[in-house]
C-alpha cells in the first residue's frame, strides 16, 4: 500500500487523512483547529470514543507527516481499521445501523452544544457489525437556530436507499454504486408507489423536499436568498426531526421472502459430514496460517467465516451477492458480536476504483491482498453462470490474497447440474484436472481433500510470491 493522502479525504478543507507506514494520521488545518479544540473541550469526543461510537484519536507530532502535508495546525493519529467498506457494499441492515448511528451521534452531540456539518455515509465504517464514526472534523459548535446542513445528504445517502428496499424491494447497492452520493430525492419520489406518499414522513422528507427543490432551486431571487438566510431552526425542532427520523428508520424492514440461495446452508446437496469436513479443513488452514484478515467470497450467511473466526482468524470480511443471506449473516454477527463484516458483492463485477479521478473509493482488490481467502462453492458460479475461464478465476483468486482454500464442484454435482439445466453445456474444459493445472500456474497447491459423499474437492493453496496485488 502506498503512503500518502488518502484519496477519499481530499474534499474536506478542515483536514485530511494520511496513510504513512501503515499508520493513520489526520491533519487539522488552521481554519478548523479552533472548532476542533472547542468541540474536544466539551467532552463529547471522549465520551463517544469511550462508548466505541467514534474512532479513538490522540495528538501526534506534526513533523511525522511534514513531507506529506503543509504544516497542519494539529496532527491526530487513529488506530487502523481492519477493512474500509462503502455504503454501496453494505447490506440493508448495515446501512440501517449506520443511519441510526449517525442520528444517535448527532443527538448526543446536541447535548454538548455541538452539531454535525454533514451527514456523509462514507464517514461511517464497520468493525464487524458495529458501526463506528470516523470523521472527527464533522463536529462543529452549535449555533442556536442553525440549520441541519446535512439533511439532504442524510436523505440521499441513508434514508432513500433504505426506503428503496423497504418500500419497493429494490436493493440500494447497484444504484448507489452508480451514483456515489446516494439516491437523489427527486428520483426516489418518482419511483415511490402512490400509496406510500400518504405518510407524513414521506411527505416531508421526500415529496415536499423534492417539490421545494424543484420550485426554488433555480431561483436566485432576492426574496429567496433573504428567506434562506433568515431560516431559524430551533434546536428543539432539530432534535425532534432527528428523533422522528430515527424512529421511522428503526421500523424500516426489507419485505419478507427468501432469495435464491438463502436456503443453501440448510438445504444444500451434501450431508452434514461434508459440512463438518469443510469446517475442519478451514480450521486447519486458519490454525496454520493465522490470517489477520480473511476474505470469505460467497460467504452466504457466514457459516465458514464463523469457523475461521473460531479457529483464530482475527477479522473476516464475508462477500456475497445474496441480500437475504447477507442480512441473516449480519444479524448473526450482531447477535454473537463477531468480527465479521458482511458485504454485498458480485464476484463477476467486484467494486471498482471510482469517484473523483477514479481513485476516491477503492476497488475490491486495491483493498487487499487479504492474508487468507475462502472461496467455497464459488468457482462453478463464475465458470458456468458467468462464462469466466477457469484460468482467469485461478489467477484472480491468487491475486486477492496470500493463500486460501478453494472448493471445486464437478459437473456431476446437483448444483452444477442445476446451473446447466436450461443451457447448453459449452464448458468442455470445466473439470478438476484443468482447474488444478490453472491454479498451479499461479499458486502452490498445498493440500487437496475430498468432501465426503460428493464429488467436490477442497484445495488449499499459497499464492506464488509477489503475485498478490501484482496485476
Partner 1 sequence: MKNALALSCAVLLSVTVYSTPALAYLDPGTGSIILQLLLGGLAGALVILKLYWFRLKALFSRKPADDRRSKDPESS
- Determine which residue in the list 31, 237, 271, 287 makes contact with partner 1, applying CB under 8 A: 237
DSSP state of 62: G
* Residue 201 beta carbon to partner 1: minimum distance, rounded to whole angstroms: 12
- Determine which residue in the list 174, 204, 247, 448 makes contact with partner 1, applying CB under 8 A: 204
* Residue 151 beta carbon to partner 1: minimum distance, rounded to whole angstroms: 4
Q: Which is nearer to partner 1, 162 or 316 (CB)?
A: 162
- Determine which residue in the list 21, 61, 67, 218 makes contact with partner 1, applying CB under 8 A: 218
Q: Phi first, then psi: give them for residue 139, nearest 5 degrees.
A: -90, 130
Q: How many residues bind partner 1 (CB under 8 A)?
A: 36
- Determine which residue in the list 43, 79, 234, 312 makes contact with partner 1, applying CB under 8 A: 234
Hey, is 281 helix, strand or coil?
helix
Which of 439-443's residues contact partners 24+ apart within 8 Å by CB, and which partners?
439/394, 439/397, 439/398, 439/406, 441/391, 441/394, 441/395, 442/394, 442/395, 442/398, 442/399, 442/467, 443/394, 443/397, 443/398, 443/403, 443/467
Cα 446 to Cα 404: distance, rounded to the nearest angstrom: 10
216 binds partner 1 (CB under 8 A): yes
149 binds partner 1 (CB under 8 A): yes
Between β-strands 293-297 and 315-320, what pairing exists: parallel, antiparallel or unpaired? Answer: parallel
Query: CA-CA-CA-CA torsion for 409, 410, 416, 421, nearest 10 degrees?
Result: 180
Q: Which is nearer to partner 1, 205 or 278 (CB)?
A: 205
Q: Which is nearer to partner 1, 195 or 424 (CB)?
A: 195
Considering only residues 21-60, where is the footprint of partner 1 by CB under 8 A? Answer: none
* Residue 312 beta carbon to partner 1: minimum distance, rounded to whole angstroms: 48
Cα 281 to Cα 289: distance, rounded to the nearest angstrom: 12
In 3D, which of 398, 397, 372 has the Cα closest to residue 466?
398
* Residue 208 beta carbon to partner 1: minimum distance, rounded to whole angstroms: 6
* Residue 129 beta carbon to partner 1: minimum distance, rounded to whole angstroms: 30
195 binds partner 1 (CB under 8 A): no
- Determine which residue in the list 63, 195, 221, 424 makes contact with partner 1, applying CB under 8 A: 221
Cα 274 to Cα 261: distance, rounded to the nearest angstrom: 18
- Determine which residue in the list 232, 357, 424, 466 makes contact with partner 1, applying CB under 8 A: 232
- Determine which residue in the list 21, 223, 266, 433 makes contact with partner 1, applying CB under 8 A: 223
233 binds partner 1 (CB under 8 A): yes
- Determine which residue in the list 49, 203, 252, 442 makes contact with partner 1, applying CB under 8 A: 203
185 binds partner 1 (CB under 8 A): yes
Q: Which is nearer to partner 1, 210 or 313 (CB)?
A: 210
Q: Which residues contact 467 (CB under 8 A, 6 or more apart)?
A: 398, 399, 442, 443
Relative orientation angle of helices 390-400 and 432-442, to the nearest 10 degrees: 40
Considering only residues 151-170, where is the footprint of partner 1 by CB under 8 A? Answer: 151-152, 155
Cβ burial, residue 219 (10 Å; 0-12/13-18/19+): exposed
Query: CA-CA-CA-CA torsion for 125, 127, 133, 134, nearest 10 degrees?
Result: -70
219 half-sphere exposure, CB direction, 13 A CA radius = 13
Window of 50-58, 62-70, 199-207, 408-416 that interacts with partner 1 by CB under 8 A: 199-207
Window of 1-9, 233-241, 288-296, 361-369 that interacts with partner 1 by CB under 8 A: 233-241
Q: Please give the residue ranges that form the binding site for partner 1 (CB under 8 A).
A: 147-149, 151-152, 155, 185, 200, 203-205, 208-221, 223-224, 227-228, 230-234, 237, 241
Amino acid at each position: 500500500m502506498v503512503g500518502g493522502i488518502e484519496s477519499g479525504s481530499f474534499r474536506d478543507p478542515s483536514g485530511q487523512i494520511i496513510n504513512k507506514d501503515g499508520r493513520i494520521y489526520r491533519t487539522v488545518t488552521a481554519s478548523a483547529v479552533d472548532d476542533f479544540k472547542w468541540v474536544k473541550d466539551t467532552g463529547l469526543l471522549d465520551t463517544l470514543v469511550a462508548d466505541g461510537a467514534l474512532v479513538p484519536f490522540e495528538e501526534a507530532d506534526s513533523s511525522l507527516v511534514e513531507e506529506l502535508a503543509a504544516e497542519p495546525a494539529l496532527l491526530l493519529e487513529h488506530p487502523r481499521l481492519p477493512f474500509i467498506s462503502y455504503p454501496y457494499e453494505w447490506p440493508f441492515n448495515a446501512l440501517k445501523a449506520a443511519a441510526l448511528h449517525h442520528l444517535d451521534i448527532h443527538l448526543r452531540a446536541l447535548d454538548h452544544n455541538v452539531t454535525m456539518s454533514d451527514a456523509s455515509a462514507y464517514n461511517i465504517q464497520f468493525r464487524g457489525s458495529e458501526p463506528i464514526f470516523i470523521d472527527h472534523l464533522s463536529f462543529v459548535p452549535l449555533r442556536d437556530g442553525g440549520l441541519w446542513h446535512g439533511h439532504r445528504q442524510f436523505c440521499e445517502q441513508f434514508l432513500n436507499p433504505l426506503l428503496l428496499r423497504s418500500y419497493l424491494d429494490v436493493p440500494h447497492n447497484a444504484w448507489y454504486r452508480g451514483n456515489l452520493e446516494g439516491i437523489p430525492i427527486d428520483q426516489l419520489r418518482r419511483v415511490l408507489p402512490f400509496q406510500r406518499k400518504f405518510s407524513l414522513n414521506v411527505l416531508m422528507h421526500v415529496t415536499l423536499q423534492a417539490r421545494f427543490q424543484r420550485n426554488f432551486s433555480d431561483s436566485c431571487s432576492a426574496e429567496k436568498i433573504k428567506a434562506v438566510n433568515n431560516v431559524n431552526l430551533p434546536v428543539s425542532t432539530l432534535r425532534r426531526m432527528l428523533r422522528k427520523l430515527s424512529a421511522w428508520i428503526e421500523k424500516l424492514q426489507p419485505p419478507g421472502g427468501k432469495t435464491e440461495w438463502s436456503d443453501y446452508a440448510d438445504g444444500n446437496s451434501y450431508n452434514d459430514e461434508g459440512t463438518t469436513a469443510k469446517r475442519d479443513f478451514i480450521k486447519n488452514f486458519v490454525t496454520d496460517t493465522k490470517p489477520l484478515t480473511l476474505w470469505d467470497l460467497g460467504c452466504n450467511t457466514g457459516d465458514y467465516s464463523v469457523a475461521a473466526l473460531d479457529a483464530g482468524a482475527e477479522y473476516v470480511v464475508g462477500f456475497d451477492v445474496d441480500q437475504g443471506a447477507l442480512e441473516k449473516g449480519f444479524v448473526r454477527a450482531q447477535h454473537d458480536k463477531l468480527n465479521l463484516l458482511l458485504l454485498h458483492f458480485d464476484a463477476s463485477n467486484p467494486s471498482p476504483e471510482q469517484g473523483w479521478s477514479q481513485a476516491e473509493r477503492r476497488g475490491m482488490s486495491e483493498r487487499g491482498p487479504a492474508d487468507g481467502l475462502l472461496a467455497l462453492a464459488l468457482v462453478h458460479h463464475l465458470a458456468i453462470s458467468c462464462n469466466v475461464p477457469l484460468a482467469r478465476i485461478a489467477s484472480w483468486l491468487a491475486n486477492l490474497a496470500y493463500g486460501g482454500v478453494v472448493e471445486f464442484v464437478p459437473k456431476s454435482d446437483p448444483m452444477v447440474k442445476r446451473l446447466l439445466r436450461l443451457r447448453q453445456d459449452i464448458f468442455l474444459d470445466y473439470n478438476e484436472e484443468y482447474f488444478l493445472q490453472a491454479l498451479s500456474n499461479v499458486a502452490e497447491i498445498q493440500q487437496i481433500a475430498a468432501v465426503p459423499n460428493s464429488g467436490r474437492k477442497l484445495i488449499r493453496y499459497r499464492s506464488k510470491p509477489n503475485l498478490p496485488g501484482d496485476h
